[in-house]
């Protein structure tokens, strides 16, 4: 009955066993290769991580040794060569820096930033042609980035290639509006103060560019030219009017500043917009810490003092100014007044006191707005204790060099320090008159 059982060939057993062993060794070899690959990858990752730490430290601290250690760990890392170039350049090793940035470009030629830095370094060494080639490569790779085009434009302008240079500068400023003032300032300097030539070089056509140019003109005291950018003072944006007024006042261009300031303020009863007049002498308009020019100026850093408009019992109109003192006060109130030299004037106002106690009473004075700030006249001290409205006046003569004065609330010098003051003072009905 055994003839139906399958037979086994003994001769086939060694062959099958050999095949099994071979496959086993192949699998072991593949596993070993995979493990080796993982170890190499881990090692490379660790090297890159450590190199990145050295690179960051080098850029922050300017440590050349740290940058070079990063290169030893990752010699084919463009960022390590870039860091080395940066710290070498900062230390004055320009030639070595150029070699490193060149190596970074070779390792990562698609990075516009590396070409841009190469252009900057070449420009520093006087290699104008090489700088322009590097900037061109940077622009090719990042055509909408402003900085490479801006730097190339500056190199071209310095090389007296003005048309090409300003094309680059204008394109860069259109891409990044923050560069616009620099563009116009450069054109203004190259034109030697020629308004028309500046407009042509910088292509000043938009309102933003006119505003930027007007700021530069005002900074240099060219108020008429600044106004001409807008046709008339009334067309100048309000924020720019304040800037222009401040620039002009800083240069003691009082009459020009007054014209600009006046265009931002509508005349109304009591608010005379003319020379030798006190603006809002009755305190009917709103007070603001931000006001300047020829309005009342209320300082922000008041100590032990509050200033407010008071509708109760004004001397005239609907409001008076109330000043409440509560200690060692540094209260002051200022208005700039435009007037004529070598003329005699009288200041008139009204004041009242409520429970004022102090060793240094308030008073009003007038002083030159420029030069030595010489005091030209002052009022009697305001009354102590409690009083009803009282009229005050005092006279002064402007010097031959006086074109504007400060009218200020001051305090008498005390015999003791600190010198506290308590109570309230109200002011109203300011005016000025010319006597001769």
By CB atoms closer than 10 A (0-12, 13-18, 19+), residue 390 is middle
How far apart CA 138 and CA 147 sit, in angstroms, is 10
DSSP 185: H
How far apart CA 139 and CA 146 sit, in angstroms, is 9
Q: What are phi and psi for residue 354, nearest 5 degrees?
A: -135, 110
Contact 173, 201 (CB under 8 A): no
| Cis-peptide into 418, omega within 30 deg | yes
pLDDT at 23: 65
Per DSSP, the three-state class of 38 is helix
pLDDT at 264: 76
Per residue in 158-212, pLDDT (tens digit) is: 999 999 999 999 999 999 999 999 999 999 999 999 999 999 999 998 888 988 9
pLDDT at 53: 63
How far apart CA 245 and CA 266 sit, in angstroms, is 16
pLDDT at 137: 95
Structure tokens at 144: 């909408």
pLDDT at 131: 94
How are the residues of the chain apportioned to helix, strand and coil, as percentages rounded to the nearest 5? 50, 20, 35
Structure tokens at 395: 């006279």
Structure tokens at 226: 């600044």
Q: Report the Cα–Cα distance between both ends of the chain, in Å, rounded.
A: 154
Pure H helices in 282-335: none
Sheet containing strand 362-368, edge to edge, reads 334-338, 404-411, 362-368, 375-378
By CB atoms closer than 10 A (0-12, 13-18, 19+), residue 66 is buried
Structure tokens at 184: 């116009």
In 3D, which of 362, 248, 242, 258 has the Cα closest to residue 291? Answer: 242
Per DSSP, the three-state class of 69 is helix
Buried b (16+ CB within 10 A) or exposed e, 177-216: eebbbebbbbbbebbeeebeebbebbbbeeeebbbbbbbb
In 3D, which of 436, 363, 375, 435 has the Cα closest to residue 405? Answer: 375
Contact 175, 183 (CB under 8 A): no
Low-confidence stretches of the chain (pLDDT beneath 70): 1-59, 61-64, 66-70, 72, 233-234, 266-273, 290
pLDDT at 10: 45
pLDDT at 91: 72
Structure tokens at 169: 């500068």
Which residues touch 121 (CB under 8 Å, ≥6 apart)?
85, 89, 94, 97, 98, 101
How far apart CA 383 and CA 250 sit, in angstroms, is 36
CA dihedral 3, 9, 10, 15 (to 10 degrees): -160
pLDDT at 44: 47
């Amino acid at each position: 009955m055994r003839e139906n059982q399958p037979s086994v060939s003994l001769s086939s057993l060694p062959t099958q066993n050999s095949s099994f062993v071979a496959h086993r060794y192949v699998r072991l070899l593949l596993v070993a290769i995979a493990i080796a690959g993982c170890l190499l990858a881990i090692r490379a990752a660790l090297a890159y991580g450590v190199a990145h730490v050295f690179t960051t430290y080098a850029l922050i601290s300017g440590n050349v040794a740290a940058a070079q250690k990063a290169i030893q760990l990752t010699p084919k890392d463009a960022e390590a060569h870039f860091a080395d170039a940066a710290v070498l350049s900062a230390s004055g090793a320009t030639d070595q820096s150029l070699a490193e940035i060149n190596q970074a470009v070779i390792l990562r030629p698609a990075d516009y930033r590396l070409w841009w830095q190469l252009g900057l370094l070449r420009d520093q060494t006087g290699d104008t042609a090489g700088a322009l080639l590097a900037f061109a490569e940077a622009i090719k790779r990042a055509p909408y980035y402003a900085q490479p085009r801006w730097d190339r434009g500056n190199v071209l302008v310095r090389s007296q290639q003005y048309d090409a240079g300003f094309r680059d500068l204008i394109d860069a400023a259109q891409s990044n509006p923050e560069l616009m003032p620099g563009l116009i300032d450069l054109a203004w300097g190259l034109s030697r103060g020629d308004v028309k030539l500046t407009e042509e070089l910088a292509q000043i056509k938009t309102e933003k560019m006119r505003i930027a140019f007007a700021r530069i003109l005002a900074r240099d005291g060219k108020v008429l030219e600044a106004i001409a950018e807008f046709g008339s003072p009334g067309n100048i944006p309000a924020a720019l009017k304040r800037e222009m007024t401040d620039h002009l006042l800083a240069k003691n261009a009082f009459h020009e500043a007054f014209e600009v300031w006046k265009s931002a303020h509508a005349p109304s009863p009591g608010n005379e917009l003319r020379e030798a007049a006190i603006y809002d002498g009755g305190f009917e308009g709103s007070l603001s810490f931000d006001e300047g020019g020829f309005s009342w100026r209320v300082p922000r850093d008041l100590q032990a003092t509050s200033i407010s408009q008071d509708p109760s019992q004004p001397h005239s109109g609907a409001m008076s100014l109330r000043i409440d003192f509560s200690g060692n006060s540094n209260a002051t109130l200022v208005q700039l007044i435009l007037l004529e030299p070598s003329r005699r004037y009288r200041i008139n106002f009204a004041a009242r006191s409520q429970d004022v106690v102090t060793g240094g009473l308030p008073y009003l004075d007038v002083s030159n707005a420029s030069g030595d700030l010489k005091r030209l006249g002052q009022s009697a001290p305001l009354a102590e204790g409690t009083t009803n409205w009282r009229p005050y006046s005092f006279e002064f003569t402007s010097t031959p060099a006086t074109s504007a004065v400060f009218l200020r609330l001051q305090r008498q010098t005390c015999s003791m320090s600190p010198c506290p003051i308590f109570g309230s003072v109200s002011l109203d009905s300011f005016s000025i008159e010319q006597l001769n």
